[in-house]
Each structure stands twice: as C-alpha cells, then as structure tokens.
Chains A and B, each alone.
Chain A
Amino acid sequence: MIELPGLGTVFGRTFQREFIMGFRNRGDLANPVIFFLCIAIFVPLGVSPDGKVLAVLAPGIIWIVALLATLLSLDRLFQSDFDDGCLQQVMVSGQPLYWIVMAKVLVHWLITGLPLTLLSPVLGLMMSLPAEGYWPMLVSLLLGTGSLSLIGAIGAALTVALRRGGLLLSLIIMPLYVPVLIFGSAVIRNAIEGFAVGGQIAVLAAFLVLSLLLAPLAAAGALRIGVQA
C-alpha cells in the first residue's frame, strides 16, 4: 500500500504556493484595493461632500464596494490552475479537493478580504461614518468578507471551464451575496442608530460557518465537473 503525504503537508504546501503566487502577481493583488479606494474618493466627489448625506449612504456603500471588490478578484481564483494543467494534477493526486480549495480560498481572503477590512476605516472617514459605526463595520467586514470569498469560490469553480466566465460568474454569485450584504450593512446602520447589533453579527458568523463547511465542498464538485467537461 503506497501512502500519500498527509493532510497537513498538502494544506501547508498549497497555502505556501498560493501565497507566493499572490505576491508574485502584485498587480492582481492591488486591483481590489485600488478599486476600493477609488470609490472612497469618487462617492464624496460625485454625490455630495455633505457629511449628513454621506453618513446615511455610508453603511450601504461600504458593503457594496467590499462586495464588488471581492467579485472583481474572483475570476482568477482557479483560472490559471485550470489553464496550465495544475488543476488536473490536483485531481489525479488522490488528495481531498476540499482542503486544497480551502487553502486557496484562505489565501484569497488574506490578500483581498483582509486588506479591504483593514482599509475600511479610510473609506469610513471619506464617507463621514459616525464614530460608533467603526467597530461594527470592522467586525461585520471581517466576518462577511470571509463568506464572500468562500461563496465566490463556488462561482469561480462553476465557470472555470468557460473562456469568458466573468459575466456568468457575477450572475451566479450576486443572489448568493444578497443575504451577506443585507446583514452586513444592517450591522453598521443599526450601530449608528444606537440599536443592538449582536443578533446580526451572530447571523453573519453563522453564514461564515456554513460557508466554511459547505462552500469548499460545492466548489470541489464544480471543479471536478469543469475538468471533466
């Protein structure tokens, strides 16, 4: 009986590889962040510099921008691996695809979701977000962007075999992002208006747990179909 390397090695090597690749392609890395900052500058210039108007819009805009920035970076998640045959190698390695997808998504979140979360106070400042909204914003983005990356991986996996899958990817993913958007922006809005936010944060955390369990499974299945087609 020939033994394959253990799960720890597989996860570690995949994580290491994705991380190196992420930093080699610095343009891709900066793309969502620059998009995020562009909106932060354009909205006050385009809508109104009036703090009162912006404060009303802030929770929604911040979340929409985080969502679109994630979407922008998704189509490359599995594409290069599909094109250069690495995905096929993963399939025939006999290793569980679930954990390989998990490692890839984790790195995706570390180089898109996490920077967006950390930069969000800058956007909050540009949007005149009231002071009591900052912590809830950080917490909701931290939980929510994780779900966004995980759910996005399903769409990226489903469209991996299509040449121009970007549009289809958005169509598939958008409805799945709606609950995260609703609860995420509600956290910030309720915090500004002085209501309790514990419930909504719990729902966001539940989304994250659920997508941690199920999204890599769905993405792995979709990748199998993509490679076999």
Chain B
Amino acid sequence: MVLAARVCATLSKVSSTASRTDRNAAPALRLDNLYCERDDRVLFSGLSADIYCGDTVQIVGPNGAGKTSLIGLITGTGILDEGEIHWQGKPARGYHFYSNLLYLGHAPGVNISLTPLENLRWYFGLNGVKSENGSGILSDGKLLEALATVGLEDYDDVQCAHMSAGQQRRVALARLYLSQAPLWILDEPYTAIDTAGVAALEARFQEHVQSGGIIILTSHQSPKLNPLKMIDLANYQDSEFGKAETTLEAGADE
C-alpha cells in the first residue's frame, strides 16, 4: 500500500501538465482511442480515458456491451486491433506492466483439485506481493491469515471442489489482502459474494485507493465507493454520431 503511493509519487514528479482533475499528475494508465469488434459487431470505438492514481473506475454497460472485452484489452488477454494503452508512459505490456497488475477475471483462477492454501501458494509463487521492497515469498502463515480474513479459516485443507461457488471466489479474493500491486483490474468482483462479504470488499477497495492505488472494476451493482468514476460503454457504441463526447465522468464529485 505504501508502494502504490510511491509509484504515484514518482509519477507526479515526472509530470508537467496539470490534469483536468486538479491533481498535478500524469495519468498512470492511459487508454487511447480503443476499438473493439466481435463477430463483425462493433462493441465500442474511440474509447479514451485517463486513469490516475487513487482512481476507482467502474466500467458499466448492459450484458454483451464489451465490459469483459475492454478488460481483456487492458490486461493483454485480448487482441488490441486499434488504439493504444500506456502504463506510466510506456506501452502497457510485458514486465513493466504486469509487475504492477493484479487481475481477477470472470473465471477466478482457482483450481478445484487444490486446497485454498495450495492455490494461493502457487499464485504468489508466480506473482509475489508486487511490492517495491523486493519480491518476498509469502510464508504460509500470511496466506492462512488472508484466508481467515475472507472467512475461510477452517477450509485451508479442503479441496476447492468441495466448496461453494462463493467460497471459491473468496479464495481468489484473498489475493487482494496480500498483494501490494498498484493496479487492480477486477471483473465482476462481487459475483457470488454475500452482503457481508461485499461490505468487507468495499472497505478493502477504499483502503487500496486511499493509499494511492487504482481499481478498475466491472459490476452490475452500484459499489459504495467514493469517488467513483464511470466508463459507460453506451457512450462509445457509435462514435460516428457524436456520442463519444464524455470521457470520464466523475460519479461523485462532492
């Protein structure tokens, strides 16, 4: 968390132009004129957005509008036909980008024949904590602590196949309590999570953002997060008719 703040501090040093949000910082993540097409159907075009440290961005749109496709483009799990994505001024690919990213996809990335602990061990073996203070390998104690935080303290040696969908999602969400990656991209993080779980998640999101991290999420619910920015895919559906005026709207500007 300290780390996220530091990344942003370095960013603001580099920047010279004042942004339209009165923060003197270059955007950490810049989406420039993205275009996405699936089966000859244009999902969105001309999508541009500047995302700054400390931003929470919700991508909204009806089913099939291209929310997951947009997330795929940003994370590099989709093919970018047109447009550019920059992370801290450089193309958002490779080590430079992925060492800053925590991604939670539609499929949680939890293997059902492994226990929650084994799943986390593997995940953090690959990713580490993504902290500036070295890639310290997490001890099992830390992993168990995170599992307890998401309410799975008695399940660490149960195979995920014997757990409910919500509990499997919680195994994936446990990563959020350990990773210090500055950029979180979360596709439907609230899926199959109960009310208490959603509240706990939102508290964690708030903490991450306040320490200077970035969250990009899709959800059909309205997260109680302040300030929340929106990327409404409906605005980019047919840019030829001049709908793509608004880029980032501040959802809560008070």
Contact = CB atoms under 8 A, between A and B. Distances in A.
Asked whether A and B interact, the reply is: yes
Interface of A: 1-6, 9-10, 12-14, 16-17, 20-21, 24-25, 80-81, 83-86, 88-95, 227-228
Contact of A2 (B3, B75, B124): B3
Contacts of B112: 84
Contacts of A91: 76-77
A192 B225 CA distance: 76
Contact of A5 (B76, B113, B125): B125
Given A81-B111, A88-B109, 19 more contacts: A2-B100, A4-B126, A4-B127, A4-B135, A5-B135, A5-B137, A9-B137, A16-B122, A17-B114, A24-B114, A25-B113, A80-B113, A84-B110, A88-B75, A89-B109, A89-B123, A92-B77, A92-B98, A92-B103
Given A2-B131, A20-B114, A24-B114, A85 B108 contact: yes
B106 interface: yes
Interface of B: 3, 72, 75-79, 94-95, 97-101, 103, 105-114, 118, 121-128, 130-132, 134-135, 137, 159, 181
B111 A80 contact: yes
A17 B76 CA distance: 25
A37 B112 CA distance: 30
A85 B109 contact: yes
B78 A228 contact: yes
B125 A14 contact: yes
A4 B135 CA distance: 6
Given A2-B132, A24-B114, A228-B77, A94 B98 contact: yes
B110 A93 contact: no
A69 B117 CA distance: 33
A85 B135 contact: no
Contacts of B105: 85, 88-89
B101 to A, nearest CB: 6
A154 to B, nearest CB: 21
Contacts of B159: 24
Top 5 closest A-B pairs, CB basis? Answer: A94-B98, A13-B125, A85-B107, A85-B109, A89-B109
Contact of B128 (A1, A4, A85): A4
Contact of B95 (A4, A6, A81, A228): A4
Contact of B122 (A6, A17, A24, A80): A17
Nearest to B103: A92
Nearest to A28: B113
A109 to B, nearest CB: 20
B76 A92 contact: yes
A4 B98 CA distance: 9
B139 to A, nearest CB: 14
A106 to B, nearest CB: 16
B111 A86 contact: yes
Given A5-B137, A14-B122, A24-B114, A93 B108 contact: no
B99 A13 contact: no
B108 A84 contact: yes
Contacts of A95: 126
B134 A93 contact: no
A20 B112 CA distance: 12
A92 B110 CA distance: 15
B66 to A, nearest CB: 15
Contact of B126 (A13, A83, A84, A85): A13
A84 B107 contact: yes
A20 B125 CA distance: 15
A2 B99 contact: yes
A119 to B, nearest CB: 25
B42 to A, nearest CB: 19
B113 A21 contact: yes
A20 B135 CA distance: 25
A120 to B, nearest CB: 29
B57 to A, nearest CB: 18
Contact of A88 (B77, B94, B113): B77
B4 to A, nearest CB: 10
Nearest to B108: A85
A84 B111 CA distance: 6
